[in-house]
Amino acid sequence: MNPTPKVLILCTGNSCRSHMAEGILRKVGGNLFDIHSAGSNPAGFVHSKAIQVMKEIGVDISMHYSKHMDDFLNADVNTVITVCDNANESCPVFPGQVNRYHWAFEDPAHAKGSEEEVLAVFRKVRDQIRNTFEAYAGGFREGIALKADS
Protein backbone atom coordinates (compact mmCIF):
# COMPACT_ATOMS: atom_id res chain seq x y z
CA MET A 1 0.00 0.00 0.00
CA ASN A 2 1.21 3.53 -0.74
CA PRO A 3 2.18 5.70 2.23
CA THR A 4 -0.51 8.14 1.10
CA PRO A 5 -3.63 6.12 0.31
CA LYS A 6 -5.13 6.69 -3.11
CA VAL A 7 -8.86 7.52 -2.88
CA LEU A 8 -11.05 7.27 -5.97
CA ILE A 9 -14.46 8.95 -5.85
CA LEU A 10 -16.89 7.63 -8.46
CA CYS A 11 -20.21 8.73 -9.89
CA THR A 12 -21.83 8.10 -13.24
CA GLY A 13 -21.03 11.26 -15.22
CA ASN A 14 -18.05 12.61 -13.27
CA SER A 15 -19.44 16.11 -13.83
CA CYS A 16 -20.81 17.22 -10.43
CA ARG A 17 -20.91 15.09 -7.29
CA SER A 18 -17.57 13.31 -7.60
CA HIS A 19 -15.76 16.55 -8.42
CA MET A 20 -17.38 18.35 -5.50
CA ALA A 21 -16.35 15.48 -3.22
CA GLU A 22 -12.82 15.44 -4.64
CA GLY A 23 -12.42 19.18 -4.12
CA ILE A 24 -13.78 19.09 -0.58
CA LEU A 25 -11.69 16.09 0.42
CA ARG A 26 -8.56 17.76 -0.98
CA LYS A 27 -9.34 20.84 1.10
CA VAL A 28 -10.15 19.09 4.39
CA GLY A 29 -7.86 16.09 3.97
CA GLY A 30 -4.75 18.01 3.10
CA ASN A 31 -1.97 15.55 2.40
CA LEU A 32 -3.74 12.60 4.07
CA PHE A 33 -4.89 11.23 0.71
CA ASP A 34 -4.02 11.07 -2.98
CA ILE A 35 -7.50 11.98 -4.27
CA HIS A 36 -9.04 11.41 -7.71
CA SER A 37 -12.51 11.25 -9.21
CA ALA A 38 -13.93 9.46 -12.23
CA GLY A 39 -17.17 8.20 -13.75
CA SER A 40 -18.63 5.01 -15.14
CA ASN A 41 -19.98 7.02 -18.11
CA PRO A 42 -18.11 10.35 -18.04
CA ALA A 43 -19.94 13.41 -19.32
CA GLY A 44 -16.75 14.94 -20.70
CA PHE A 45 -17.03 18.15 -18.67
CA VAL A 46 -17.37 19.53 -15.15
CA HIS A 47 -20.74 21.23 -14.68
CA SER A 48 -20.45 25.04 -14.51
CA LYS A 49 -22.84 25.25 -11.57
CA ALA A 50 -20.75 22.75 -9.60
CA ILE A 51 -17.73 24.97 -10.22
CA GLN A 52 -19.76 28.02 -9.16
CA VAL A 53 -21.08 26.64 -5.86
CA MET A 54 -17.70 25.21 -4.93
CA LYS A 55 -16.08 28.64 -5.42
CA GLU A 56 -18.62 29.94 -2.89
CA ILE A 57 -16.92 27.81 -0.20
CA GLY A 58 -13.39 28.56 -1.35
CA VAL A 59 -12.77 25.39 -3.38
CA ASP A 60 -11.66 25.76 -7.00
CA ILE A 61 -12.53 22.78 -9.21
CA SER A 62 -12.40 24.76 -12.47
CA MET A 63 -9.30 22.86 -13.64
CA HIS A 64 -10.85 19.43 -13.00
CA TYR A 65 -11.81 17.32 -15.98
CA SER A 66 -14.04 14.30 -16.54
CA LYS A 67 -12.30 10.89 -16.46
CA HIS A 68 -13.37 7.27 -16.90
CA MET A 69 -13.06 4.89 -13.95
CA ASP A 70 -11.20 2.40 -16.17
CA ASP A 71 -8.29 4.88 -16.23
CA PHE A 72 -7.63 3.83 -12.63
CA LEU A 73 -7.80 0.03 -12.95
CA ASN A 74 -4.02 -0.24 -12.58
CA ALA A 75 -3.57 2.66 -10.19
CA ASP A 76 -3.24 0.85 -6.81
CA VAL A 77 -6.41 2.43 -5.44
CA ASN A 78 -6.76 1.96 -1.68
CA THR A 79 -10.28 3.32 -1.18
CA VAL A 80 -13.22 3.62 -3.58
CA ILE A 81 -16.11 5.88 -2.64
CA THR A 82 -19.21 5.85 -4.83
CA VAL A 83 -21.47 8.90 -4.59
CA CYS A 84 -24.35 7.66 -6.75
CA ASP A 85 -26.26 4.39 -7.01
CA ASN A 86 -25.42 3.76 -10.69
CA ALA A 87 -21.68 3.98 -10.04
CA ASN A 88 -22.06 1.72 -7.01
CA GLU A 89 -23.72 -0.94 -9.17
CA SER A 90 -21.15 -0.77 -11.98
CA CYS A 91 -18.04 -0.32 -9.84
CA PRO A 92 -15.31 -2.90 -10.44
CA VAL A 93 -12.90 -4.06 -7.76
CA PHE A 94 -9.64 -2.20 -8.15
CA PRO A 95 -6.27 -3.88 -7.55
CA GLY A 96 -5.02 -2.97 -4.09
CA GLN A 97 -8.47 -1.84 -2.98
CA VAL A 98 -8.87 -2.20 0.77
CA ASN A 99 -11.92 -0.02 1.48
CA ARG A 100 -15.18 0.68 -0.30
CA TYR A 101 -17.86 3.14 0.77
CA HIS A 102 -21.14 4.13 -0.83
CA TRP A 103 -22.68 7.48 0.00
CA ALA A 104 -25.37 8.35 -2.54
CA PHE A 105 -26.27 11.98 -3.20
CA GLU A 106 -28.95 13.47 -5.44
CA ASP A 107 -27.67 14.43 -8.89
CA PRO A 108 -27.93 18.24 -9.03
CA ALA A 109 -27.43 18.17 -12.81
CA HIS A 110 -31.04 16.97 -13.06
CA ALA A 111 -32.45 19.87 -11.03
CA LYS A 112 -35.31 21.79 -12.66
CA GLY A 113 -36.64 25.28 -12.10
CA SER A 114 -35.35 28.81 -12.13
CA GLU A 115 -31.66 29.60 -12.02
CA GLU A 116 -31.89 30.21 -8.27
CA GLU A 117 -33.86 26.99 -7.67
CA VAL A 118 -31.27 24.95 -9.56
CA LEU A 119 -28.42 26.63 -7.69
CA ALA A 120 -30.21 25.86 -4.42
CA VAL A 121 -30.12 22.14 -5.31
CA PHE A 122 -26.41 22.35 -6.17
CA ARG A 123 -25.75 24.10 -2.84
CA LYS A 124 -27.79 21.54 -0.89
CA VAL A 125 -25.90 18.63 -2.47
CA ARG A 126 -22.56 20.43 -2.01
CA ASP A 127 -23.30 20.91 1.69
CA GLN A 128 -24.33 17.26 2.13
CA ILE A 129 -21.12 16.15 0.41
CA ARG A 130 -19.09 18.58 2.54
CA ASN A 131 -20.58 17.23 5.79
CA THR A 132 -19.93 13.62 4.76
CA PHE A 133 -16.38 14.10 3.50
CA GLU A 134 -15.36 16.35 6.39
CA ALA A 135 -16.49 13.56 8.74
CA TYR A 136 -14.61 10.97 6.67
CA ALA A 137 -11.36 12.98 6.79
CA GLY A 138 -11.84 13.62 10.51
CA GLY A 139 -12.34 9.92 11.20
CA PHE A 140 -9.29 9.03 9.14
CA ARG A 141 -7.21 11.60 11.02
CA GLU A 142 -8.44 10.22 14.38
CA GLY A 143 -7.52 6.69 13.28
CA ILE A 144 -3.98 7.80 12.50
CA ALA A 145 -3.72 9.50 15.90
CA LEU A 146 -4.95 6.35 17.68
CA LYS A 147 -2.40 4.18 15.86
CA ALA A 148 0.36 6.63 16.78
CA ASP A 149 -0.65 6.52 20.46
CA SER A 150 -0.62 2.72 20.65
What single string gives the DSSP state of each residue in 19-77? HHHHHHHHHHHTTS-EEEEEESS--SS--HHHHHHHHTTT---TT----BGGGGTTS--
Let me know if 98 is exposed, middle or buried by CB neighbors in 10 A (0-12, 13-18, 19+).
exposed
Residue 137 lies in a domain: yes
Domain membership of residue 125 (yes or no) is yes
Cβ atoms of 59 and 24 within 8 Å: the answer is yes
**What residue numbers bound the domain in which 83 lies?**
6-149
Cα 53 to chain centroid distance, Å, stands at 15
Catalytic residues: 11, 84, 91
Nearest Cα neighbor of 101 from 128, 81, 126 is 81
CATH number at residue 130: 3.40.50.2300
Residue 45 in domain? yes
Whether residue 92 lies inside any domain: the answer is yes
Looking at the 3D structure of the chain, how many domains does it have? 1
Whether residue 1 lies inside any domain: the answer is no
Q: What is the pLDDT along the chain (150 residues), one digit of tens a residue?
A: 447 999 999 999 999 999 999 999 999 998 899 999 999 999 999 999 999 999 999 999 999 999 999 999 888 899 999 999 887 787 777 877 889 999 999 999 999 999 999 999 999 999 999 999 999 999 988 888 888 887
